[in-house]
Amino acid sequence: MPFIPHTQEDEQQMLQVLGVSKIEELFKEIPTELASPELKNLPSGMTEMELTRWVRELFCKKSMLNFIGAGAYEHHIPAAVWEIAGRGEWMTAYTPYQAEASQGSLQLIYEYQSMMTRLLSMDVSNASLYDGATALAEAVLMAVRLSKKNQARVVLAPKNLHPHYREVLKTITGQQNIHCEEIQFNDKGQVDQFDLIQKITPEVAAMIIPQPNFFGVIDDVHALTRIAKERGILSIAVVNPIAMAMLSPPGEWDETGVDIACGEGQPLGIPLSFGGPYFGFLSCKKEHVRQLPGRLVGRTQDLEGRCGFVLTLQAREQHIRRGKATSNICTNQGLMVTAASIYLSLLGGTGLSKVAQACFENSHACFHALKNISGMRPYFASPFFHEQTWKFEADLPPILNRLQNLGIQAGIHLGEYDPQFKNVLLLCVTETKTTEDIKRLADALNTILQELL
């Protein structure tokens, strides 16, 4: 009701044109026994004012100092990002199939593709996928299609990859009888290269290389990429995009780079929003582009020779190829890519590098603030980016509860994912944390641990 514009007069005139007396007559082809029952469990409608008040009261909460990362990161989002991305012309446009009426979206995606290829140092980026985990699943399917080995249905996935990503991989690739073989990590939290080499059999199509990995650990990605090349398998990087402004990007790993690079785009101007909507990025070497799933925008010319942009290589996609498409993917995450493009443009290369540097400095400042607290010690002694792991001598969940009551979300308990990490905390620090924030966390931990031990 709230958004239906018909006046009684409109309705009467329209029915008259149709030669019927009631709207119900327009449904006479639907068998009457299909009529829905009353739908008693739906609520009554509200006005916008009523809904606003209800939502504000429901979500009224004290603000939390958040040190949780694990795949979703708190960053400062410039006001201009969502002020502009929230314009109706971006929000309420459809997929740019009508190119002439969608040059805004198309040019934006082209610019996004350009920015991502520069950030990752890769040749080609698609227009985005649903999120980081599904981007990785699509990367794996792509690698299996690209593999020159017959019967290669195995992809090597290290156990220091985000556990949710490993679950999504199993769900999606498992349907096509692709097996993800686990690779162990060593006591530094890095990929166990010995285990990796042992597991490269003729059935292996590709290996996944996270950077930084789920534990925040920075791995020797050059060595891992070299192993993949030497053994004739494809390499798939899963990277944090902010970290790539500072760390070696996947297109330069072991000089000539990986075959496919993907990851979660959320850090680039997308709010946490309880897990979504985010976007996944996916990029590859130019020679692999025909197996790249998802939308892709290319530069071209119009009838008068003016430059313009269109969706291209659509013959890979489901609306043309149907059952033979590279993927069933139809949508990308256009609005999130709009926000990310504005974010990247505001920061520029220097600004983004500074964000990465601030994350790195803050996370290390936090590390130094915590390292002398008795009752906890660093778990993996390795270089790290955002995240760090801490082993507690006391039971961790009650400690996290007490911190929560003090308004601090200190991270996640890794024991919930794997019993071998009982009482290991994964804690994340980004550029949003101040010296005072870090001191508040350290003091609280100190007090709690002193009481307990």
Partner 1 sequence: MTQTIFEKSARGRCAHAQVPKTNPNAAFDLPAHQFRKRALTLPELSELQVVRHFTKLSRRNFSIDTHFYPLGSCTMKYNPRGVHTLAMQDAILSQHPLSPVESSQAWMRCLFELQNMLSEITGMPGVSLMPMAGAQGEFAGVAMIRAYHQSRGDFERNEMLVPDAAHGTNPASAVQCGFVIKEIPTEKNGNLNLNALKAAISEKTAGIMLTNPSTLGVFETDILKISEWIHQAGGLLYYDGANFNALVGRVRSIDMGFDVMHLNLHKTFATPHGGGGPGSGPVTVCEKLIPFLPAPRVIEVGGQYQWLTEKECPQTIGRLAGFYGNSGILLRAYFYMKLLGREGIQRISRYATLNANYLLKRLSDAGFEAAFPDRLASHEFILTIKNSAKSFGVTALDVAKRLLDYGFHAPTMYFPLLVPECLLIEPTETEDKQTLDQFIEAMISILKEQETRPELLKNAPHTLPVRRLDEVKAARELQVAD
Region binding partner 1 by CB under 8 A among candidate stretches 4-12, 147-155, 369-377, 387-395: 4-12
Determine if 197 is a binding residue for partner 1 (CB under 8 A): no
Complex with partner 1: residue 346 or 373, whichever CB lies closer:
346
Using CB under 8 A as the binding rule, the residues of this chain from 262 to 291 that contact partner 1 are 264, 271-279, 289
Q: What CA–CA distance (Å, rounded) separates 411 from 424?
A: 10
Cβ atoms of 282 and 138 within 8 Å: the answer is yes
The structure tokens listed for 78 are: 């410039």
Length of the chain: 453
**Which of 8, 44, 150, 372 touches partner 1 by CB under 8 A?**
44
Q: What minimum distance in Å lies between the beta carbon of 221 and partner 1? A: 8
Using CB under 8 A as the binding rule, the residues of this chain from 53 to 112 that contact partner 1 are 54-56, 58-61, 63-64, 66, 68, 70-72, 74, 76, 78, 80, 82-84, 86-96, 98-105, 107-108, 110-111
Determine if 128 is a binding residue for partner 1 (CB under 8 A): yes
Determine if 321 is a binding residue for partner 1 (CB under 8 A): yes
Cβ atoms of 233 and 206 within 8 Å: the answer is yes
Complex with partner 1: residue 204 or 355, whichever CB lies closer:
355
Count of residues in contact with partner 1, rule CB under 8 A: 193
**Which of 154, 165, 257, 423 touches partner 1 by CB under 8 A?**
165
**Which of 198, 202, 256, 320 touches partner 1 by CB under 8 A?**
320
Amino acid at 320: I
Q: What CA–CA distance (Å, rounded) separates 430 from 359?
A: 4
Nearest to 407 by CA among 382, 356, 441: 441
Name the DSSP class of 391.
E
Q: What minimum distance in Å lies between the beta carbon of 80 and partner 1? A: 5
**Which of 185, 215, 309, 380 touches partner 1 by CB under 8 A?**
309
**Which of 8, 36, 151, 420 touches partner 1 by CB under 8 A?**
36
Q: What minimum distance in Å lies between the beta carbon of 119 and partner 1? A: 7
Complex with partner 1: residue 46 or 197, whichever CB lies closer:
46
| Helix (H/G/I), strand (E/B), else coil: 262 | strand
375-to-187, 215, 273, 394, 407 alpha-carbon distances in Å:
20, 20, 34, 7, 21
Determine if 150 is a binding residue for partner 1 (CB under 8 A): no
Using CB under 8 A as the binding rule, the residues of this chain from 228 to 257 that contact partner 1 are 244-249, 252
Q: What CA–CA distance (Å, rounded) separates 192 from 384?
A: 17
Region binding partner 1 by CB under 8 A among candidate stretches 183-191, 201-209, 230-238, 327-335: 327-335
**Which of 192, 259, 387, 431 touches partner 1 by CB under 8 A?**
431
Complex with partner 1: residue 155 or 200, whichever CB lies closer:
155
**DSSP output for 208-236:** EEEES-TTSBPP-HHHHHHHHHHTT-EEE
**Which of 196, 205, 260, 412 touches partner 1 by CB under 8 A?**
412
249-to-116, 121, 180, 262, 436 alpha-carbon distances in Å:
11, 6, 25, 11, 32
Q: What minimum distance in Å lies between the beta carbon of 38 and partner 1? A: 8
Q: What CA–CA distance (Å, rounded) separates 207 from 190?
A: 14
Using CB under 8 A as the binding rule, the residues of this chain from 333 to 392 that contact partner 1 are 333-336, 338, 341-342, 344-355, 357-358, 360-361, 364, 383
Q: What minimum distance in Å lies between the beta carbon of 198 and partner 1? A: 25
**Which of 148, 150, 151, 323 touches partner 1 by CB under 8 A?**
323
**CA of residue 105 relative to chain centroid, distance:** 21
Q: What minimum distance in Å lies between the beta carbon of 77 and partner 1? A: 9
**CA of residue 364 relative to chain centroid, distance:** 24
For the window 16-35, what string marks contact with partner 1 as x by the rule CB under 8 A?
-xx----x--xxxxxx-xxx
416-425 long-range Cβ contacts below 8 angstroms, 24+ apart: 417/163, 418/163, 421/379, 422/396, 423/391, 423/392, 423/393, 423/394, 423/395, 423/396, 424/379, 424/389, 424/390, 424/391, 424/392, 424/396, 425/376, 425/389, 425/390, 425/391, 425/392, 425/396, 425/400
Determine if 261 is a binding residue for partner 1 (CB under 8 A): no
**Which of 8, 150, 303, 419 touches partner 1 by CB under 8 A?**
303
Q: What minimum distance in Å lies between the beta carbon of 317 and partner 1? A: 8
Q: What minimum distance in Å lies between the beta carbon of 375 and partner 1? A: 21
The structure tokens listed for 312 are: 């291209």
Nearest to 140 by CA among 112, 113, 177: 177
363-to-84, 250, 315, 358, 371 alpha-carbon distances in Å:
31, 23, 46, 8, 12
Complex with partner 1: residue 106 or 200, whichever CB lies closer:
106
441-to-66, 175, 356, 414, 453 alpha-carbon distances in Å:
10, 44, 22, 19, 18
